[in-house]
Structure 1
Amino acid sequence: MTTSSSASPADPPVLGVLLDVHPLRSQTFVTTELRELAALGHRIHVEATRRGDHEPEPIPGVTVRWRQDDVAVSRGSALPLLVGRPRATVADRVARQRWRRGEAVPPLRELLEPLARLQAAGVEHLHAHFAAGAALDALRLARLLRVPWSVTAHAYDIYQRPENLAEKLRDAAFSTSGCDYTVADLRRIAGPGHADRVHRIVMGVDAATFRRTRPLPGGRRVVAVGRLVEKKGFAHLLEAAAILERQGQGLEQLVIVGDGPLRAALEARAAELLPTGRYRFLGAQDAATVRGVLDRADLLAMPCVVAADGDRDSMPVVVKEALAMELLVVASDEVGLPEIVRPPAGTLVAPGDPAALAQGLAAALALDPAARAAAGAAGREFVLREADAAAEAAKLSQLVLDAR
């Protein structure tokens, strides 16, 4: 691996972070992690394949470029890098035939401009978020740059589209995931001799940002936040709200924040099941708006399920954000949620069971104001201890240092 001649062993390495799409409102954890790594002294160059749904947050020490903005795909100034690396270039050409059996693989010429930018930035370690296309790009670029690389795998890239996943885990200097559930599966996939390089690093919360600005409202306002896809279980949440309505325990309002392919179907179902005014679909919102919605809520519902195609959530960040804001949480007993949703602030119910979900919501909302406040304080303390963004970024930084 190449390092700057002026750098000491204790200097935080310059990082290259690879993403398929950036930034996304559904992936605020990436921006939070970038901010915390920069605060630790890392200079960071982000290479994303495509632009996301909003402009990136300006972070000192972090630059962002998108491959879709490259005017022309040409060898250009990156050609000398390939000339000086004939073995890596030939090995890449050979490996492409194998990789293509699992996923789309861009020709090496499409990586030349990112390669030149990463080289110019003095990147000493590459890290990919999600073990899909960005991870394969990181593997290939790391070989050309002669630097170590790593990957954080999340959920769809493990369970729905595990493309070349075993090879990626075995090639990386280390890999991480956000809960014990996914870490155990990744260690199994990596296999003997590689499993010990899979680490648990939680997608943490900035508790200074996610904190209450007003007293708990003490009502029956339930919020759900996430993409409108099957694995979020929002269809079951609508059914549960209807059960409470029939039982005379209707919610003051059910607010769903997010967008996705199921939005029209969910809105139509809500209109069938619930009185007008008892539900709202806010669409995708920025982090500040989500904080405001949580600040006015009494409870967060996170009824995740394993989708028919195997896709699932691991440990949704919004659950940790809600706990940090002292909200009650009712969630399904699925994947990594039991690791973070615990009494007194959290209640777990059977996944895909609207009646059980309705019962859990009713029990939580029946708590008196003093019990809600005490439970909320315990939930915040748990997040501060177990899911602090700065502490989790420091763990990642140490792994990067150890990989030198």
Structure 2
Amino acid sequence: MFKRDLFSQQHEAFRAHARRFIAQRITPFHRAWEEAGEVPREVWAAAGEAGLLCCSVPVEYGGPGLDYLHNVVFYEELGRAGVTAPGFMIHVDMVSSYLTVFGSEEQKKRWLPGMVRGQIIGALGITEPHAGSDVKAIRTRAVRDGDDYIIDGQKTFISNGRLCDFVMLATKTDSGAGAHGVSLFVVEATRAGFIKGRKLPKLGLRGQDTSELFFEGVRVPAGNLVGGEGRGFKVMMHKLAQERLAQAIRSTAVCEAVIGWTIERLAQQTLEEESAGERQSAQFTLAELQTDIVVARVMTDRCIEQFIADQLSDIDAAMVKMYVTNLHCRVVDECLQFFGEQGYSLDSAIGRAYADARIGKIAGGAIEVMKHLIGRDLVAGRKATP
């Protein structure tokens, strides 16, 4: 196994702290949250009090001012524990990140301290019934009216949709300008016309509240515009590499956990229960999976290093996201087989991991979009080569 050199002693101490918090405050209740379809707000506040949320938010905006690796550590520990119910990644790696980089001073001071404490929960509103990976196709409109904008539209499959105190909302401010007509707004859940629809039943991530959101003549001040009118697409594209890396970080950690569970499962079985041929078959399967997981780990860690150095390209982010989330689905599928009927039950960790894995090929950009981006770049590079 390759030695990981990314983390300092401070990071490892933070890892131990995060692992204790997950074991005490999340894991014992996770199954009940999956049945309920959401997580109590107190869990968010507890995570904030424990210093686990929005670690890289600067001190002047209420954060601890730590480096991105602290977020990585937290995501890895959540993945290893099989925790998917709290939508921490959306809140931290996307919403707070958008505000930290592109928000105005007033927006940062108003929202970030509460997000760090877990007292304000953020959601990201992009996906619509007719627009998923193609952000340019969204139909939610924001029309200027004096010092305000009036928003009408609909979003769906919004993580943290029921619990959110505000949504970072993608809208069209100029329907004829394509990507240049997309704008982002902070829209508070308390505004008139902001309607939280039903919680959506899902194959996996069953404890993470995912909802429809409706906007009927919602009036928001121009001061809620993030990054400037018509710059929403550029803002989202700037942060997409980070979102895709976060998906890879989670998937790699889950792969490592699942193969560990499988090895323990096989070790518990007596030699008399299976033939030598069956044992060899299992060893061969695990050998191939472990090798691929190590490749994924090296690739993911390299992309983390590039991101920290502000050198992670969109193409590298697309490749790591595509490779690792595909592997994630293969690992849980092949490992579940070793658990038999027990593995098919949602009462088992492997069964839940199987159900939770599939979203990885969709979230943060579908696998097909990743292939398109990578292939287009390859063709462009070949044309540019003399």
Sort the TM-score into its range (normalised by shorter chain): under 0.3
TM-score norm. by structure 1 comes to 0.27
TM-score norm. by structure 2 comes to 0.28
Greater C-alpha Rg: 1
